[in-house]
Amino acid sequence: MDAVIQAIAEPRRRDILGLVVEKELSASEIASHFDVTRPAVSQHLSVLLSAGLVTLRREGTHRYYRARPEGLAELRDYLNRFWKDQLSLLKELAEAEEQTKKEKMDAGR
């Protein structure tokens, strides 16, 4: 999971992900969209691949990459859980605090 977060932390990899969502593309095709060399894209793709965010399909000398929805979903679920815990906890704390304030006010009467 840490690998997934690390992978999407890099802006260029998010851009690449955005490209291969629409259609599967080869490394060269992806590279042509950016101002970087092909090897740089290859390296990003291997990061995305090992993070489970893209899939690879070989066809002759070509290698087509495509976004893997399950990978994105896993990350989304992880973060949603993270946030749910934190946000609900914050909410409870805020309410408890509010209650304490009221009690103090009552006591001061």
Partner DNA sequence: TACTTACGTAAGTGTCAACTAATCAAATTT
Partner DNA sequence: AAATTTGATTAGTTGACACTTACGTAAGTA
- Binding residues for its own copies, rule: CB under 8 A, are 2, 5-6, 8-9, 11, 17-18, 21-23, 67, 69, 72-73, 76, 79-80, 83, 85-87, 89-91, 93
Report in angstroms how near the CB of residue 51 gets to its own copies at its nearest: 13
Rounded CA separation 72/66 (Å): 12
Rounded CA separation 76/70 (Å): 10
Report in angstroms how near the CB of residue 11 gets to its own copies at its nearest: 7
Any idea how long the chain is? Answer: 109
Residue 31 host element (H or E):
helix 27-31
Binding residue count for DNA, defined by CB under 7 A? 25
66 near DNA (CB under 7 A): no
